[in-house]
Amino acid sequence: MKRTNILKSRLMLSIMGLVACTSPQPQVRETPASVQISSEAQQAQTNQTAQQPASCKLVEDGFGPQGQVSVRVEEVVTGLDVPWGIAFLPNRDLLVSERSGQVRLVQNGKLRPQAIATINVSDRGEGGLLGIAAHPDFANNRFFYVYFTANQNGTPVNRVERWQLSQDGLSATRDRTIVDNIPVAQFHNGGRIRFGPDGMLYIGTGDARDPNLSQNVKSLAGKILRVTPDGQVPADNPFPGNPVYILGIRNTQGFDWVNVSTLWVSDHGPSGELGRSGHDKVSVARAGDNLGWPTIYRCESQQGLVTPAIVWQQALPPGGATIYTGNAIPEWKGNLIVAGLRAEQLQRIVIDPRSGQVQQHEVYLQGQQGRLREAIMGPDGELYVTTSNCDGRGTCPPEQDKILRITR
């Protein structure tokens, strides 16, 4: 017992003695495995209320069993250039972000030939025009939001802006910057943006290849941020005056709400940095939670850090994620659907919303449509998925990338 206490004391002294990276500026260097957890993050861990999974499911061999539910794939539109995100409009038209910088409109089921807006982006690596979301009151104000890697006087920076669609739907104009100076790198830029059930805008960011930034609440990198539709910090955010909502993230591109206060968050595992690889994951998280990167990255537990619900030992890695709420595939109702990029598949994950424990998972569309990026529920109760075969890591077909509808 004494030896155990001595070891614990030494470990705590080691953690307290680490030096934090406090610069909010973009970094591209790799960093040592040890990081300091800031005092603000420590306080959030002390006050942590999120319900952690009873156990973490480790997928050691492959990605899971083949799906047993019969589903059908329909092509909605083709001819897209790396469609990264979809925003559904009240009339069921949709806006699509193309990573090369175009915002496209799908009107009455057809892709309009001309972009409604072209944004000057830096699309090197994983940057470019990424997430897109429509304002909850779009019918009245016609606002939509984009996350992109901007060219700022020759220096790239990740930014969220608000734009306004014209009344005829054929053009859009910039309204204002919502969040600026999100750290950038060739890889790990995050980019998913979604409005939550509370009407706030949530922004998933990457660690910009500097793992230390994920644990630094003064940095916008490696986080899920939460701001008002005008870009202000809500008074009830976990860190006063700070847009940071969840920290300890490596590179999330997908999250959704199981209830108003709980999110299921997918995250990319390491791909060589710190001597690690694989281990993409899904975690259950609430305000102020620390998902552990880079301190933990597998099925590990540590005081104050959220243990993942499921971890894949091989690299999936996860794109968009959405909770299935439709009726077309009733067996999927309430399940998390995660798009797989390198693995070229959809994952159906059955999570107990009370315990956060994974009860079942299975694989769909394995190798059938190539790389899958976005996964989102439409207002018609159907699941929509985008392909990402023209992003330089897949095989780009003559018809380019697509939006697919997954139904019965």
Q: Which residue range is the domain that position 112 belongs to?
A: 52-407
Confidence of residue 151 (pLDDT cuts 50, 70, 90): confident
What ranges make up the beta strands (E) of 23-93?
57-59, 72-80, 83-88
- Encoded tokens for 358: 């994974």
Compute the average pLDDT of residues 27-43: 42
Compute the average pLDDT of residues 114-140: 96
Please report the DSSP string for 77-92 in residue order: EEEESSEEEEEE-TTS
Its sign, for the CA torsion 20, 279, 274, 157, is: negative
Residues in the chain: 408
pLDDT for 275: 85
Residue 58 bridge partners (DSSP): 311
Task: Report the CATH number that the domain containing residue 300 is assigned in CATH.
Answer: 2.120.10.30
pLDDT for 154: 82
Confidence of residue 258 (pLDDT cuts 50, 70, 90): very high
pLDDT above 70 for 128: yes
Instruction: Say what the pTM is.
Output: 0.88
Q: State whether residue 290 is helix, strand or coil.
A: strand
Percent of the chain as helix, strand, coil, to the nearest 5:
10, 40, 50
- Encoded tokens for 205: 């960011």
Confidence of residue 152 (pLDDT cuts 50, 70, 90): confident
Span 196-218, pLDDT tens digits: 999 999 999 999 999 999 999 99
Establish if 75 belongs to a structural domain.
Answer: yes
Compute the average pLDDT of residues 118-127: 94
pLDDT, mean over the chain: 89
Establish if 44 belongs to a structural domain.
Answer: no
Establish if 20 belongs to a structural domain.
Answer: no
Question: Which amino acid is located at 307 in the chain?
Answer: T
Q: How many structural domains is the chain composed of?
A: 1
Rounded Cα–Cα distance for residues 387 and 374 (Å): 8
Establish if 89 belongs to a structural domain.
Answer: yes
Establish if 21 belongs to a structural domain.
Answer: no
Angle at 370 between CA 334 and CA 396, to 5 degrees: 140
pLDDT above 50 for 359: yes
Establish if 15 belongs to a structural domain.
Answer: no
Rounded Cα–Cα distance for residues 106 and 88 (Å): 10
User: Residues 6 or more apart from 24 whose CB is under 8 A from it?
Assistant: 181, 183, 218, 219, 220, 221
Its sign, for the CA torsion 175, 180, 183, 188, is: negative
Establish if 182 belongs to a structural domain.
Answer: yes
Its sign, for the CA torsion 295, 296, 301, 305, is: positive
Q: Which of 292, 303, 338, 331 is nearest to 317 (CA)?
A: 338
Establish if 11 belongs to a structural domain.
Answer: no
